[in-house]
Amino acid sequence: MSNLIGQHLGPYCILEQIGAGGMATIYKAYQPAMERDVAIKVIAAHFAQEEEFRKRFRREAKAVARLEHAHILPVYDYGEADGRPYLVMRYLEAGTLKERMAKGPLSLSEINRVVGQVGSALDYAHRMGVIHRDVKPANVLLDSEGDAYLTDFGLAKMMAGSAKLTGTGVGIGTPVYMSPEQGQAQKVDARSDVYSLGVMLYELATGRVPYEAETPLAVVLKHIQEPLPLPSSVRPEVPERVERVILRAMAKEPEDRYQAAGEMVRALDGAVRAAQAASPTEPAIETTTPMPGVVRAAPRAKARKLRLPRWVGWAAGGAVALAAFFFILSRVPLRVQISGGQLEVVRVAEGTLAPSELGLSEAEGTVTPVPQQTPVSTRATEPTEAPPVSVPPAVAELEWERIYDGAAFQRAAVSALAVDPQDANVIYAATSAPGIGNGAGVYKSSDGGASWSPANNGLERAAVSGVFVDPVDSQIVYATTFGAGPYKSSDGGAHWKPINTGLSQLTGAWGGVAPFLFDPTDHTHLYHSDPWAGVYHSTDGGENWQLVSQPDQFVISLAVDPRDGQHLFAGAYYFGEGSQRGGLYESTDGGLYWSPIALDIAGIEEAAVELLAIDPRNPDSLYVPLAYPTAPRPNVLLASSDGGESWREVSFTSFGGEIAVIGFDPADSRSVHIGAGNAVYRSDDGGSTWGIVQDFESQVNSLAFAGDAGALYVGTQGVQWTKDGGQSWQSAASDFGNAWLELIPNPAGGALYAEDSACNLYRSVDGGSTWEALRSDACGLAFDRQNGWLYRQTEGVLVRSEDGGQTWAAAGPRASQDGDQRYLYVNPRDENTLYSLNSGGWNPFIHLSTDGGQTWRPINAVSHVPHGRIVMAEDGARMYVAGAGALDISDDGGASWRACSAEFGFPGSPPAIALHPRDSDTLLLGQWGSGIFKTTDGCGSWTEISAGLDNLFINTLAFDLGNPDVVYAGTDGGAFISLDGGDSWNVINAGLGSYPIVYSIAIDPADPSQIYAVTPDGVFRLAGASPEAAAVPTSTGTPIDADVLCWLQGPAGELASRNPHTGFDAIVQGRNAAQVVVESPSGEIVV
């Protein structure tokens, strides 16, 4: 394969070589099947010879191929030919950012655009669990439009996994752009990529890299120890706020940097906008000639500490020699493991790497250690007995495996529908989890609803709440999300990008679809509102937003007059006494000033207005349903026929549920359609009388009309539609993901259960690979551990199953006829003690039975806790009940209660609650939109523990039963793992697919190594879960016979392997050394 030009590599015809490096050669090729040019990266022969490298390459290639983002160069294919792996990627005619920089300086806007696009790509990749490790201008491609595409994901990690290159966990990259921790071969996370992006921004802004030296090793040392030269010392014209962004991005310590690439992008965009506002003209930042004179260093930059043993200092004679010594030795692979009760030190290389033996490639000084020999294992003498130390899992190796596609589960609810105004056969649907509100994706049909496929490329979060088609250019589509702001597609949903510039809040919605409106006089003018911020306006198709005003402190609905884009209506939520009073407001100047609209109906002046609709066929007709319970009664619908001057109440007592959506058929000027409960209703006389159009099996969430096609589309569980006025209906549900599910493992093992928000119950007896539907007319699931029985509650009775859920029989009366008795619990120490919690309505009672469900009595907790959850300790005495802004605790099985500290008081109900399996004083609460909170003193005090979480919409929490220091969290942005009891988090999205919204995480009590998650794409199992604790020696002064000299430091001086999560360090020197050296925190050298 020395000359591939003119040959075939699989189905690809090689045309020409377009690039080469130490790791791979890049070719331009032609793919006949798709009639397109592609780029093919062929791995160098000396890497391909190693089987472990090829396996890692395949694994990483698959991970990279899952990245679907508008600014990540897509990977089309992977293959091997004659033992040589290759990647097939999109081919771009334009060059790299490095080549563009060589041609001349970029303007401030161009810098902001490129860094913003690259940062957005990194932010997405990090949420998907992928770290780049080699961010630099040479890995950024530019197309003819100037858009940036990040490439070479995962290649540095592939190199780091090769025994011919480095030891386990050693980072490889380009020294000029390396973070301090990467230069020291420590574990890296997303913040290392933020540092490298900061270096790239520094170079773009000043025309030079921050650190230069004669050797790559000296460059690495400067990154670690030297203060950062101020960009303004190099180029005085660098704006001060842009400089501050660079300084923070390049902080020596990761915790001092931006914690996410998206955070850096938003800060840079704000800095550039401020600079542009201060200077009307925007010349390019001149970067052609170095500035003479003194270069000032950043005063706040901290030198990163090198934790070296004393003997390293003795052996090295000078700073450069010391750095070179550390840099080389830290790359000699070492693994310390426990095998057969003995300590085993494994050296993955023979010989010592001297500086002259370290290979350095010419291209940008990329460090490439020379190949080494095969692993050598040496055995130490049997260690003395010591207490076990839990070894946390290697996050980088964790990956989810889908074990079930969700075919048996209820389909996701379609929360929003939009029809292409130019082509009635093109329909978009946004799905969400019923009863929860969080979204699961965007789907598109091009054949009038007969078939649907995901349209998700570039959507960084799974929680999509709404979808909107531009009324003029139907290739432009917008999506609103929970927690990530709005997104835009310019190619009919094929690719998406976030449009958050200028938005101070990204919450998006208060339960339903976030308001998003087109100005009827100019389709590029948009309105968007956020309940925590107010009303925003954009005049450039959403690329930039400006906060207009806030008519009330909690705007949850918005409408625009179809005749006048300056005439707006807004609905607000009612929180009771105070300034947040709810009601309806009007603006006639594009949202600058607002005035309240009197509804003139007794008792509802301050009701919550969650939905308002203007009839586009008759813009003076307005409809406003009022939200219960702030309204005096359910289903209050107000109508106005004079633009809001006067109102009347419309009666619709036949409606079977709260009004979710109001629609107007453009082909019929008389009709008004309403979706309420499980049905669609129609009125032809302005709401005076109503008739049912169709009754469905599940809740109606959205409506859309296809104009001249005469079609009505209804979003329920999937999409239903009629094209003949409701005479006949068609349905499409199987193409959509499954609905929200809670996984519930049997405490005794042997079965895994799942319940959705509609109370459908499912069971798997083969570890989640197959599922069967069980009884669906009851809610809640509780386990009697002593007898192996299951309990649920129907509308009238308590039912029990003694055969795992196959058959059920009445066991007693329902706990209460009031509200939704959703949650049911059995005391783990007393099978006759049952608890039922009202999760619906506003009755705060818990109901208790001490005779196996035969009789019930209320036991009211201290606080008002509707919509709550109960968790119980294994002793059956300690209980917590969490609800709306309150948490109560009992130490006697619910007989008496006390309120938790006033420090608790988070708004809303915690959707996630987890009790430490061995410490009933330690509790975690997950809030939807607020992150995770922790108490370790039985709820006396609380601490927010959201470090590392880039999505604060928490759906589920679970302690690892085998190692409670390990905690799992499921969010709208994927799965996260904590290795320190929840104090810090890392994303683990590998394998979860393009929509990793995690509904639930569960751990099998009978086998804690089995960790499950459920998403819209089905059920997943985690591979590479927590290993069992391994015993390591802690005694001092004990000779250990080994042929490797190493220095290891643990928190108490114990011997431990160099683990990427514990933070322990290891250095190896010599080939025939005779001892293992341990340095304790007090500084003693123990041999």
Residue 565 burial (CB count, 10 A)? 20
**Distance of alpha carbon 259 from alpha carbon 191, whole angstroms:** 6
Buried b (16+ CB within 10 A) or exposed e, 628-656: eebbeeebbbbbbbebbeebeebebeebe
Q: What is the DSSP string of 718-740?
A: EEEEESSTTSS-EEE-TTSPB--
C-alpha distance from residue 795 to each of 436, 461, 759, 775 (Å): 22, 37, 12, 13
Sheet holding 752-756, edge to edge: 741-745, 752-756, 761-764, 772-773
Tokens of 1012: 């499950």
Q: Which two tokens stand for residue 51?
A: 């089987």
Cβ(182)–Cβ(188) below 8 Å: yes
Q: How far is CA 772 from the centre of its chain?
A: 30
Smallest CA-to-CA distance from 870 within 900, 838, 899 is with 838
Report whether 1022 contacts 1011 (CB < 8 A).
yes
3-state DSSP of 919-979: CCCCEEEEEECCEEEEECCCCCCCEECCCCCCCCEEEEEEECCCCCCCEEEEECCEEEEEC
Amino acid at 1057: S
Question: Do residues 723 and 711 touch, judged by C-beta distance below 8 A?
Answer: yes
Catalytic residue among 37, 82, 123, 134: 134
Reduced 3-state DSSP string for 90-117 = ECCCCCEHHHHHHHCCCEHHHHHHHHHH
Give the residue carrying structure tokens 């091009």.
446
Phi and psi at residue 178, to the nearest 5°: -75, 140
**Which of 971, 965, 1026, 1024 shows the shortest CA–CA distance to 1001?**
971
SS3 571: strand
Q: Which helix (H) or strand (E) covers residue 155, if one does?
A: helix 155-160
Active site (annotated) includes residue 919: no
Written as six digits, the tokens of 599 are: 């509804």
Distances, alpha carbon 341 to alpha carbons 105, 344, 381, 385, 865, in Å: 62, 9, 10, 10, 52
Torsion of the alpha carbons at 792, 793, 794 and 796, rounded to the nearest 10: 140
CA distance 40 to 91: 9
Q: What residue ranges in 627-684 does DSSP mark as E strands?
A: 636-640, 648-650, 659-663, 672-676, 679-683
Total length of the chain: 1087
Q: HSE on the CB side for 825, CA within 13 Å?
A: 24
Instruction: Kindly state the helix (H) or strand (E) to which residue 52 belongs, with its residue range.
Output: helix 51-65
Contact 196, 178 (CB under 8 A): yes
H/E/C letters for each residue in 413-432? EEEEEEECCCCCCCEEEEEE
Distance (Å) of CA 346 to CA 160, 184, 376, 500, 1056: 17, 21, 6, 50, 13
Please count the other Cβ atoms lying within 10 Å of the Cβ belonging to residue 605: 15
Check if the beta carbon of residue 930 is closer than 8 Å to that of residue 967. Answer: no
3-state secondary structure of 240: helix
Residue 1021 near residue 403 (C-beta atoms within 8 A): yes
Side by side, the strands of the sheet bearing 1077-1079 are 1066-1069, 1045-1048, 1077-1079, 1085-1086
Residues 673 and 715: their CA atoms lie apart, in Å, by 13
What are the residue numbers of the active site?
A: 134
